[in-house]
Amino acid sequence: MRLAIIGGGASAVTLMDALARSTPGEKITVSIFEPRAVLGPGRPYQEDADSALINRPADSMSVRHTDPLDFRNWLREAGRSGEFPSADPEARFQPRRLFGIYLRRRLAAAAAKLVVGGGAVEMCTATVEDVYSAAGRLVTLASTGVAEAHDHVVLCLGTPRPADIYGLTGRPGFVADPYPLSEPLPAGEPVTVLGSNLSAVDIAVALLRRGHTAPIRLISRNGLLPSVRCQPAAIDPAEAGQLAEAVQLTPPASLWTTVRRLLHGRLVAHGGSAHEMALDLAAGEPAAGRLARQLGRTDAADCWRAVLLPLLDPVGELFWQRLPLRMRESFLRRHNTSIATVLNPMPPATAALLLEALRTGALEVHSGITAVNASPGGGFMVTAAGKNHRAGVLLNAARATPYDPVEPAGRLLGRLAARGLARPHPCGGVYVDFTTNRVLGPASGLYALGHPAAGDIYYANAGSLLGISARAERIVARIRRGSTTGTTTLATSSTLTIGGRLDG
């Protein structure tokens, strides 16, 4: 049996890990296609300064949803062997770089296990430009010109790259994609970041920790920073059961109203404040005031985020899938930007650093961006709320919803749609079967994992690896059940077999 995994980031690692842990069946040959030189870290977890931290606690960063502490335990083991002397395995938020190494190791271990079991793993340093059906199989066409037939193909394409809203790619001083964050920037040069989301915060923190001396400006439409992460409140199983039942049984048309009523009831019962919720979700509050207010609430048991989010987490996926499509579209259009600030919060230590920088003037946050123009003499002019801001260096962190048709993921999805193998989803990615992650269309062996499936499988904790890992297991269960035999290579393969690029 042949399996192609398109994209070599964290989703691919969860899939490989699930495959290696599954009951061995027919011998399997896996081809992983990824244009980056190193497999595993993907876009967010590349080699970076240790000051660039993951935004989620280490205890929920694992490639195995059945073992959320896997990363933490790996860190402890590495600490005991003295491998990363400067690392603190007990720190709640860990460097992105370390997580990237963990991903590489887990991928190498999974590949080795498959090889020991008689399988083969091939790494192809290339993008996949096309996938088509031939003789009942799926053929990948790589950028190297090599075509290979597979029984199953999984799209692990990641999130869209930042949107180039103002058409600035190629202009000197414009950084189209800021990851990894350790790229050198002149310390005395003012830096402007397009966006105020988590990526924008990551950039600001990396610069501040590096001792950047000139002002850093975050400029976006609403000027909303991510919320500050708070301690989740304990969940009463009876309440969780009631919500789960409502999400499963309420007719779709009244689902939104019913869930809102239940959440409101819990909020009131736990002394939570609707006013605090409205403040958190609305634009307009000055950034320093918002950070100070939320930092004062990180351990508050009645904070609405602590009360509601842990209850919603287990049912978020199903809730999203059962909502009528027009409601999902309307939610994304009207509420997603503000809800995303709550679902993807920043660590309190990050918030404290930003607050200090806002107070000293090292950081500014502006809303109301309307235009960015390249200046004739070099640099850029950013217009926000009627004021012009001159910028020499412009880092792009603008969130993109659809894939750009010129980036590899967008190109491939466009070809799949043109061939009728996938249908673009109005809420992102392509339509998939909710139970199996199979891409809806004529190809029974085509799947999507992670962001390409987000239209149907909204990750309540957007991009949660534990959620992705649970989905990877479903795909593996189906692949293992329905495998067919045979290998076809349609052209000379230039793939590498398992080797150095895997293990870090």
On the CB side of 232, CA atoms within 13 Å amount to 14
Distance of CA 218 to the CA centre of its chain: 21
In three-state secondary structure terms, 265 is helix
Number of amino acids touching ligand FAD (CB under 6 A): 32
Asked whether position 463 contacts ligand FAD by CB under 6 A, the answer is yes
Q: Quote helix, strand, coil % in the chain, to nearest 5.
A: 35, 15, 45
Beta bridge partners of 124: 33
Least distance (Å) between residue 168 CB and ligand FAD: 19
Nearer to ligand FAD among residue 71 and residue 300 (C-beta): 71
Two tokens at 432? 């998939």
Q: Is the peptide bond before 180 cis (omega within 30 degrees of 0)?
A: yes
Instruction: Pick one of 35, 57, 68, 232: the residue that binds ligand FAD (CB under 6 A).
Output: 35
Residues 198 and 206: their CA atoms lie apart, in Å, by 12
Least distance (Å) between residue 289 CB and ligand FAD: 25
Q: Strand 147-150 to strand 152-155: parallel, antiparallel, or no bridges (unpaired)?
A: unpaired
Least distance (Å) between residue 65 CB and ligand FAD: 13
Instruction: Pick one of 17, 34, 151, 317: the residue that binds ligand FAD (CB under 6 A).
Output: 34
Instruction: Pick one of 3, 8, 146, 197: the residue that binds ligand FAD (CB under 6 A).
Output: 8
* Interface with ligand FAD in residues 415-454 (CB under 6 A): 450-451
**Integer distance in angstroms from the first to the last C-alpha of the chain?**
28
Question: Where does this chain touch ligand FAD (CB under 6 A) — which range of 50-58, 65-73, 83-91, 230-238?
Answer: 50-58
Asked whether position 7 contacts ligand FAD by CB under 6 A, the answer is yes
Least distance (Å) between residue 17 CB and ligand FAD: 12
Residue 45 in contact with residue 181, Cβ under 8 Å?
A: no
Residues 344 and 333: their CA atoms lie apart, in Å, by 18
Asked whether position 3 contacts ligand FAD by CB under 6 A, the answer is no
Burial class (CB in 10 A: 0-12, 13-18, 19+), 468: buried
Least distance (Å) between residue 226 CB and ligand FAD: 11
Asked whether position 399 contacts ligand FAD by CB under 6 A, the answer is no
Least distance (Å) between residue 163 CB and ligand FAD: 13
* Interface with ligand FAD in residues 178-217 (CB under 6 A): 179, 199
Instruction: Pick one of 30, 201, 409, 498: the residue that binds ligand FAD (CB under 6 A).
Output: 409
Question: Where does this chain touch ligand FAD (CB under 6 A) — which range of 28-36, 287-295, 321-329, 331-339?
Answer: 28-36
E runs forming strands in 444-498: 446-448, 488-489, 496-497
- Amino acid in the structure at residue 155: L
Q: Angle 237-249/304-312 helices, nearest 10 degrees? A: 60
Question: Where does this chain touch ligand FAD (CB under 6 A) — which range of 33-41, 188-196, 203-211, 483-491?
Answer: 33-41
Nearer to ligand FAD among residue 10 and residue 30 (C-beta): 10
Instruction: Pick one of 24, 27, 43, 374: the residue that binds ligand FAD (CB under 6 A).
Output: 43
Residues 270 and 268: their CA atoms lie apart, in Å, by 5
Residue 400 in contact with residue 161, Cβ under 8 Å?
A: yes
Two tokens at 24? 């061995």
Instruction: Pick one of 180, 408, 441, 445: the residue that binds ligand FAD (CB under 6 A).
Output: 408
Asked whether position 332 contacts ligand FAD by CB under 6 A, the answer is no
Query: With the CA atoms of 63, 64, 65 and 66 taken in that order, what torsion angle do they form, in degrees rounded to the nearest 10?
Result: -160
E runs forming strands in 125-267: 128-134, 137-142, 147-150, 152-155, 174-175, 191-194, 216-219
Residues 223 and 203: their CA atoms lie apart, in Å, by 15
Nearer to ligand FAD among residue 7 and residue 190 (C-beta): 7
Residue 272 in contact with residue 304, Cβ under 8 Å?
A: yes
Cβ-based neighbours of 460, under 8 Å, separated by 6 or more? 312, 313, 316, 317, 319, 320, 343, 467
Instruction: Pick one of 158, 195, 316, 347: the residue that binds ligand FAD (CB under 6 A).
Output: 158
Phi-psi region of 378 (alpha: psi -120 to 50; beta: other; left: phi over 0): left
Instruction: Pick one of 128, 208, 287, 353: the residue that binds ligand FAD (CB under 6 A).
Output: 128
Beta bridge partners of 371: 383
| Binding pattern for the stretch 221-260 against ligand FAD, x by CB under 6 A and - elsewhere | ----------------------------------------
| Binding pattern for the stretch 71-90 against ligand FAD, x by CB under 6 A and - elsewhere | --------------------
Phi-psi region of 135 (alpha: psi -120 to 50; beta: other; left: phi over 0): left
Least distance (Å) between residue 44 CB and ligand FAD: 4
Nearer to ligand FAD among residue 40 and residue 190 (C-beta): 40
Least distance (Å) between residue 302 CB and ligand FAD: 26
Instruction: Pick one of 17, 52, 56, 316: the residue that binds ligand FAD (CB under 6 A).
Output: 56
Asked whether position 475 contacts ligand FAD by CB under 6 A, the answer is no
* Interface with ligand FAD in residues 340-379 (CB under 6 A): none
Question: By beta-carbon distance, which residue lies closest to ligand FAD?
Answer: 42
Residue indicated by tokens 């990824």: 34
Asked whether position 58 contacts ligand FAD by CB under 6 A, the answer is no
Binding site residues, ligand FAD, CB under 6 A: 6-12, 33-36, 42-44, 54-56, 127-128, 156-159, 179, 199, 408-409, 412, 450-451, 463, 465
